Structure 1
Amino acid sequence: MADKSVKENRILIAMDGSKYCNYAFDWYLENVKKPSDYVILVHCVEMNSLASMPGDIGASGLLMKSIEKERESCDKYLRELTDRMKAAELHGKVKRTSGPARSEILRVAEDEKVDMIITGTRGMGTVRRTLLGSVSDHVLHHSHVPVIICKHKDPDHQQEKQQGSKK
């Protein structure tokens, strides 16, 4: 039976299948996790492959095949997230949403009344982040709850950034 005197913290962790979000999940487990936490793993589906399809996709049935492939891939990833939660003995749920991650993360955080948001970051440079927009940057500046942005410690990633700044 749970101790009622311990406050349940509601933690949202944004997950997209990247090593950056996986790092954020692992960072949570190592640094923040408490037995009383209620964790919500959020995966925002944007149907990215549809944006790169050729112009006349309806006639050949490619659209339906592409949608089904995206759905299967998403369902598989959601099962993986559920398994990761069970393996880590987390109390909570996995939630799939549709739409841009930057707004969906904030919407789910508000709907679920979370106390904290945790996300990874790709560590884009200033120019790229300004032009493309950063999900983590947007969430940080528009959230009404604390946001932890976990920067991946990938040595290859750091080397790429250093080489890019020398060019």
Structure 2
Amino acid sequence: MSPSLEMASEAAGSETERAEAIAAATPVVLVAIDESDHSYYALQWTLDRFFADPGRRSAVFSLIIVHAKPTPASVIGLAGPGAADVLPFVDSDLRKIAAGVVEKAKQLCRSRSADNVLIEVVEGDARNVICEAVDKHRATMLIMGSHGYGAIKRAFLGSVSDHCVHHAHCSVMIIKKPKH
């Protein structure tokens, strides 16, 4: 693992200081990822367009990658009696998924020779986590993938990208994966 690629969890003090130093040094591009191919495509797209030239003397942008890990209770919902018995298993699965997301993001960054990357896993609703990360890191731009849901599915599930477009305090770029 490259020493410049680190995973921060639940905002440790030294990671917060490091993130503030990154934000002060260069404008921050924040990429929100989940386990979908759409978000990995958005990360690849970002790396190819903003971080592809390893010969640059200094980076134009700093890259922060954020994964919102759902809470076990939000996944289970109101399951009734016995739900508390399932919570540890659900939490374990969510941690495994988050670790997989982080590992794949690290591999993509390494394959593109991107350094000075901070990866955070933050527990909570993705809409809030992403907008809070934008504020915390003073991001200049938020980049995220589009799942391509239709209007009906978006109405029932809600759209994280739509929420971020309206509530994030920076420019938001939604990257659509081409249909093959």
TM-score range, shorter chain: 0.7 to 0.9
TM-score (norm 1): 0.76
Structure 2 counterpart of 1:14, which letter?
A
In 2, the alpha carbon distance for the partners of 1:154 and 1:47 equals 32
Structure 2 counterpart of 1:108, which letter?
A
Runs of 4+ in 1 over 6 A off after TM superposition: none
Match of 1:142 among 167, 171, 180: 167
Q: Which shifted more, 105-114 or 122-131? A: 122-131
Tell me: CA distance 1:69–1:125, structure 2 relative to 1, closer, same or farther (3 Å).
Answer: closer
The runs of 5 or more residues in structure 1 that have no matched partner are 1-6, 156-167
Structure 1 counterpart of 2:141, which letter?
M
Structure 2 counterpart of 1:106, which letter?
C
Q: Which shifted more, 134-143 or 67-76? A: 67-76
In 1, the alpha carbon distance for the partners of 2:169 and 2:98 equals 29
Q: Deviation string for 1:66-125 (max 9, x for gaps)?
A: 222322332233233223223322222100111111111110011011110000011122
Corresponding residue for 2:34? 16
Corresponding residue for 1:84? 108
1:75 aligns with 2:93: no
The runs of 5 or more residues in structure 2 that have no matched partner are 1-24
Structure 2 counterpart of 1:113, which letter?
R
Match of 2:178 among 149, 153, 157: 153
* RMSD of equivalent CA atoms: 2.4
In 1, the alpha carbon distance for the partners of 2:150 and 2:83 equals 38
Tell me: CA distance 1:126–1:66, structure 2 relative to 1, closer, same or farther (3 Å).
Answer: closer
Percent identity for Structure 1 against Structure 2: 26
Tell me: CA distance 1:9–1:89, structure 2 relative to 1, closer, same or farther (3 Å).
Answer: farther
Structure 2 counterpart of 1:39, which letter?
L
1:115 aligns with 2:167: no
In 1, the alpha carbon distance for the partners of 2:103 and 2:82 equals 30
Tell me: CA distance 1:89–1:67, structure 2 relative to 1, closer, same or farther (3 Å).
Answer: same
State the Cα distance separating 1:62 from its structure 2 match: 3.1
1:39 aligns with 2:63: yes
| Cα contact 1:50–1:63 (8 A) shared by 2 | no
Max Rg structure: 1
Structure 2 counterpart of 1:94, which letter?
I
1:57 aligns with 2:79: no
Corresponding residue for 2:157? 132
Report the count of equivalent residues: 148
